[in-house]
Amino acid sequence: MKKHIYLLLITSIFTSQLFAQYCGNSGPSICTPAGNLTQPGLSPPSDSLPPVINGIADSRLIKFKNFNQAMYNGFPITITSLRIDSIENLPTGLCWATNKANNTYANQEEGCIVVSGTPCSAPGEYKLRIKVFVNNLLTIDAATAGLNYFVRVNNYGDAVVPVDTLQSAAFVAYGPAANCNPVICPVLTFTQNSVSNTSCGTANGSLTAIAGAGTAPYTYTFSGGPASNTTGTFTGLAGGNYTVTATDDNGCTGTVTVNVATQTATITSVNNTPTTNTSCSTPNGAFDITASGGTSPYTYNDGTTSNSTGSFTGLAGGTYTVTITDANSCTGTGTVTVPTTTPTIGGNTSNVTGNTSCNAPDGSFTIAGTGGTGPYSFSAGGSSNNTGNFSGLAAGTYTVTVTESNSCSGTVSVVIPDNTPALTVTTSTTPNTVCAGTNDGSITVTTTGGTSPYTYSPSALTTLAAGTYTVTVTDANTCSTTATATVANQTATVTVTYSATNATSSTATDGSATATGAGGTAPYTYAWSNSQTTATATGLAAGTYTVTATDANGCSGSQTVTISFTSGISNIAGISNLNIYPNPASNNFNVKANLAEKGNVTIELVNAIGAKVVVRNLGVTDVINENIVTTHLSAGVYHVNIAVNGQHASYSLIIQ
């Protein structure tokens, strides 16, 4: 156990160690300083410290600090460095060590001392003399600074005497010996022997190590072994090295290493006798294997089955690895190869007849098996038989599987030629020129080869519209072929132009328009969206109309006609072809006119309260062609004002 004593020293003198002889292993692993000492002195007080007891191991901790200043022979000393040199008058069996390898401490540095060991001294009180070396100049005894340290030594069972007479503090410990007589341990000797391990399963080796030169009786333990005993004999051991420790009656110990050898058997195989496999369905190979070495009885395992005879049957060809295990669980392996001598199966073909039919195949062949043992069976093209005769075959390559009585098989390829006559088809076409009514396109098919008569699909190859057609030709043997033909489109593209006369007002129906068809075959007929059927439509109000012109072949074209109205006054000289359309307008309207001479042109759109909602300055021109968007305007009646060089014209426009 460890007791913690905090020694706060004013000077390096007070940093001395309170223990006996130097242990010689000072370093950081010995102890850890308190790290928080602020006052010199001892803690706990000396009267609370128990004694050390002879024969009982003890370990105690003292913590201290170099407080830099001290008084020596009436003079102050500044301590910059101190070293713990020695502790004299320590009880036998105890030694000391510090947390620093050089036992040296700088100004304000804290340290610690561990005193440990098993005391073995006459009972009594021991005054310790702690020596420190200060500033590399002088050695000082702690007692000269008024600090005395005491250690009391008791035998086990002695009464603990109060420490009223201690001048400062005492370092003490306790332990279990009634009398302490130091023992000098002899070097133990050993007599040893061992028995080899012969088992590969449960270990059966043993060893014996008998100690001597010490004081009997002895107890024995060994590394990795069972509980200790007093005989030195250990059994049930695997092969290996074992370290045996013997302890005599005085607690003296000694060790010896004993080797337990391994003498397990080497298992091999002899007389590996295989039997050839000759079957392709039920394997009939076999082998016998015999073990050598080890201890019988043996077991044999080929990876699938186990037995005690070494005989294996019903085997396919191949290499087998057999594991042999003897009575001591030692194993070995043997390898046996079972050969395979299965036959090569084939066939001879005859009477190969090509197919001549495109509808009911009539090809055939005959095949006879070779190799192996008959009888044979044959399969090809999804059918099987035992004769080798195959008929009703289309042209192509057939793979025939030949199987003999031992289920060994092979394949043979047979080619049935295609003896059907070849059909050749050529086509020619005439284009379709008709847009309405009966089409006049056609396809002419010319067939050679095959066997007549021929049939055609589709059967009707005249009065065809423009397009691509696939024609299938089938001969008398139902052999067929196809050809693709394209009937061109040579119909006319009819265009329509028109001239219009606008209505004189928004409510007038005195507008007219004349349509003219072109591009087709005259004569043309006309159909207006207001049901008029002449080239000229009359009695038209302002609005949009559609006219369709149809030529003599039924080909047609359409055109949209817009009738506007003009309402207003004009004082512009030389203006012609004025047209404001559409009127009424929805999203936009156009203003078009021609001027006899160039002038500075302005167009204004004015609403019902006289506000100008659109103004366009066209600059100097003699052609007016302006589109004006009206989507931002409310529905109502507006005036389109046109000014040319100070002359004015005004026209009404309805926006819907």
The answer to whether residues 654 and 644 touch, using CB atoms and an 8 Å cutoff, is no
pLDDT computed for residue 35 by the predictor = 77
pLDDT band (50, 70, 90) for residue 537 = very high
Q: What is the pLDDT of residues 228-257, one digit of tens each?
A: 888 888 888 887 888 888 888 777 788 888
pLDDT computed for residue 530 by the predictor = 93
DSSP string over 285-343: EEEEEEEESS-S--EEE-SS-EESS-EEEEE-SEEEEEEEE-TTS-EEEEEEEE-B-PP
516 pLDDT more than 50: yes
| C-alpha triplet 43, 45, 47: angle, nearest 5° | 150
pLDDT computed for residue 616 by the predictor = 94
538 pLDDT more than 50: yes
pLDDT computed for residue 275 by the predictor = 75
121 pLDDT more than 60: yes
DSSP string over 193-260: EEE-B--SSS--EEEEEEEESS-S--EEEETT-SS-BSS-EEEEE-SEEEEEEEE-TTS-EEEEEEEE
Q: What is the pLDDT of residues 89-117, one digit of tens each?
A: 777 778 888 899 888 888 788 888 787 77
Is 559 exposed, middle or buried, given 0-12, 13-18 or 19+ CB atoms closer than 10 A? middle
Average pLDDT for 27-41? 77
Residue carrying structure tokens 């001479």: 597
Q: Taking Cα atoms as reference points, which of 525, 562, 560 lies closest to residue 546?
A: 560
Instruction: Out of 239-248, 484-493, 558-567, pick the least confident.
Output: 558-567
Average pLDDT for 309-314? 86
| C-alpha triplet 252, 207, 251: angle, nearest 5° | 10
pLDDT computed for residue 2 by the predictor = 38
pLDDT computed for residue 384 by the predictor = 92
pLDDT band (50, 70, 90) for residue 566 = low
Average pLDDT for 429-453? 78
Which tokens go with 382?
């999804």
The answer to whether residues 441 and 465 touch, using CB atoms and an 8 Å cutoff, is yes
pLDDT computed for residue 152 by the predictor = 64
Average pLDDT for 288-299? 84
pLDDT computed for residue 127 by the predictor = 66
Is 282 exposed, middle or buried, given 0-12, 13-18 or 19+ CB atoms closer than 10 A? exposed
pLDDT computed for residue 345 by the predictor = 82
Q: Taking Cα atoms as reference points, which of 588, 570, 566, 567 lies closest to residue 579?
A: 566
- Domains, the chain, in order of start with CATH, read 2-170 (2.60.40.10), 189-260 (2.60.40), 268-338 (2.60.40), 346-416 (2.60.40), 423-487 (no CATH), 495-563 (2.60.40), 568-655 (2.60.40.1930)
pLDDT band (50, 70, 90) for residue 627 = very high
CA–CA dist 235, 203 (Å, integer): 9
Name the phi and psi angles at 47, rounded to 5: -75, -5
pLDDT computed for residue 239 by the predictor = 79
Q: Most distant CA pair in the chain: distance in Å? A: 155
CA–CA dist 626, 653 (Å, integer): 15
Average pLDDT for 193-214? 77
Q: Which one is predicted more confidently, 81 or 141?
A: 81
Q: What is the pLDDT of residues 60-83, one digit of tens each?
A: 777 777 766 666 666 777 777 778
Strand order in the sheet with 480-487: 455-457, 467-474, 480-487
Q: Taking Cα atoms as reference points, which of 290, 297, 299 lies closest to residue 271?
A: 290
Cis check: omega of the bond before 45, within 30 degrees of 0: no
23 pLDDT more than 90: no
165 pLDDT more than 50: no
Other Cβ atoms less than 10 A from the Cβ of 423: the count is: 21
Instruction: Out of 137-151, 174-188, 207-221, 436-450, pick the least confident.
Output: 174-188
Percent of the chain residues past pLDDT 90, beyond the cut: 16
Instruction: Compute the mean pLDDT over every residue in the chain, rounded to the nearest whole number.
Output: 78
Q: Is 393 helix (H, G, I), strand (E, B) or coil?
A: strand
pLDDT computed for residue 505 by the predictor = 66
Maximum average pLDDT range among 39-43, 336-340, 631-635: 631-635
373 pLDDT more than 80: yes
Residue carrying structure tokens 């030169």: 213
pLDDT band (50, 70, 90) for residue 604 = very high
- C-alpha Rg value of the chain to the nearest Å: 64
pLDDT computed for residue 71 by the predictor = 63
Q: What is the pLDDT of residues 313-360, one digit of tens each?
A: 888 888 888 988 888 888 888 888 888 777 788 888 888 887 777 777
Average pLDDT for 172-180? 33
* Model confidence, pTM: 0.33
pLDDT computed for residue 171 by the predictor = 31
Percent of the chain residues past pLDDT 70, beyond the cut: 80
The answer to whether residues 134 and 104 touch, using CB atoms and an 8 Å cutoff, is no
